[in-house]
Each structure stands twice: as C-alpha cells, then as structure tokens.
Chains A and B, each alone.
Chain A
Amino acid sequence: GAVVSQHPSRVICKSGTSVKIECRSLDFQATTMFWYRQFPKQSLMLMATSNEGSKATYEQGVEKDKFLINHASLTLSTLTVTSAHPEDSSFYICSARDRTSPEAFFGQGTRLTVV
C-alpha cells in the first residue's frame, strides 16, 4: 500500500513556542491530506482538510490561526501549532488520499507534549 511518513514522531516543547509537524506521501501524489487530533482513549477528531495549492478547510471549533496548515506540494503538508499550551498536548495524525483509491493512508502520528 501507499506510504505516508510523518515527522517528528515525538516532540516536547515549552509553552508559548511553535511546533511544526510534517506529513509526506512517499510514493503517490496526495491532492488531499487530513489532520486529526486524538486525546487519550478518545477517537480521532478531524481538525482540517488540506488541499494542495489552496487554503485548508477547518472543522468547527478548530482555530485556524493557531493550527497553521500548509500544503505547498502534492507530497507535503505541514501543521504548525503556534503558541503551544499544555492543553494542546495530544497525538496528531495526518492521512493522505491517493485519488485512485477510496482508502486514506495514515502517517505514524506525532506525540506532542507541551510543558
């Protein structure tokens, strides 16, 4: 199957700083990428949908100025958590869709801890 690489897998940052998470499709072109957040023992909550070359579509309740998404190429999308606070600590997961398949492929996830 298709491979989606997410980096870093773990990051610890100080409160008030920004963190960038990268999501790459390694062997296919992903016109659409998705960013999810997952709190412990809860399901994945879609944060935003990212389309190459256009602005991301954010889900209700997600602050677009705090969670900056850039999808500059068909193989790379980035999520920047700006001015991070401890409540932003979570597991962030990206997924990407190959237009030829209904399935979305997930990255390995990023465990963010804000101290």
Chain B
Amino acid sequence: GQNIDQPTEMTATEGAIVQINCTYQTSGFNGLFWYQQHAGEAPTFLSYNVLDGLEEKGRFSSFLSRSKGYSYLLLKELQMKDSASYLCARKDGDYKLSFGAGTTVTVRA
C-alpha cells in the first residue's frame, strides 16, 4: 500500500487550532489532497498541494514537504460544524487517489 498515516482521533475546543499530520511514502507521489467528510456523507474537497509550502484558504491551511513525505492540515478558529473526519489522500500518477484512514476531529464547546 501507500502507507498513508494520520492520527485516528483529535479533540479540541471551539475557537482553538488543531493540526492534523499526515505522512506517506514518497515514491510515485504526484500531489496531496485533504478532504472533509461528515458521517454518512461523501467527502468534500478542502485543499490540494503539489509543491512544498503552505497553502492558506480562510480558516484552513495545508502544508506539504515532499522530501519528508509529510503534510498537515491546520484548522483555525474551530467551530462546532468542523467536527468531522478529515482524510489525507495521496495522488499517484495522473489521477489515482489513495486515502488514509481519516482523522476524526471532535470540537467541544
């Protein structure tokens, strides 16, 4: 497999910041996606990184280090609606995505 590793669960309070780490095998790497998935629903796109560095999009930012096989998703100013599963997905070749097991984030008041 692609050995995509991310923590199983994280808990944080409303208004706080949470960082979800993802590591993956670098061989054949062609891009890194982050998706949000609420229970019983399909994933929704959050970010895509193909070059090293930080991509900021509102309250969500994503970072990539290709040499280290490492990415993180940063969620700022957490809101209750951010409680969901966050999936790290590695793009192999032209279009195939391999998903990590997902990180369940619980936001508490």
Chain A interface residues (CB < 8 Å from chain B): 1, 6, 32, 34, 42-46, 49, 91, 93, 95, 97, 102-109, 111
Contact = CB atoms under 8 A, between A and B. Distances in A.
Secondary structure dominating the interface of B:
strand
B43 interface: yes
A1 B45 contact: yes
Interface of B: 31, 33, 35, 40-45, 48, 50, 87, 91, 95-102
Contacts of A104: 95, 97
A43 B102 contact: yes
Q: Give the interface SS of chain A, mostly helix, strand, loop or mixed.
A: strand
27 contacts: A1-B45, A6-B42, A32-B95, A34-B96, A42-B101, A43-B100, A43-B102, A44-B43, A44-B87, A44-B99, A45-B99, A46-B96, A49-B95, A49-B96, A91-B40, A93-B42, A95-B97, A97-B95, A102-B48, A102-B50, A103-B33, A104-B95, A106-B35, A106-B43, A107-B42, A108-B41, A111-B40
Contacts of A102: 31, 48, 50, 91
A105 B43 CA distance: 9
A43 B99 contact: yes
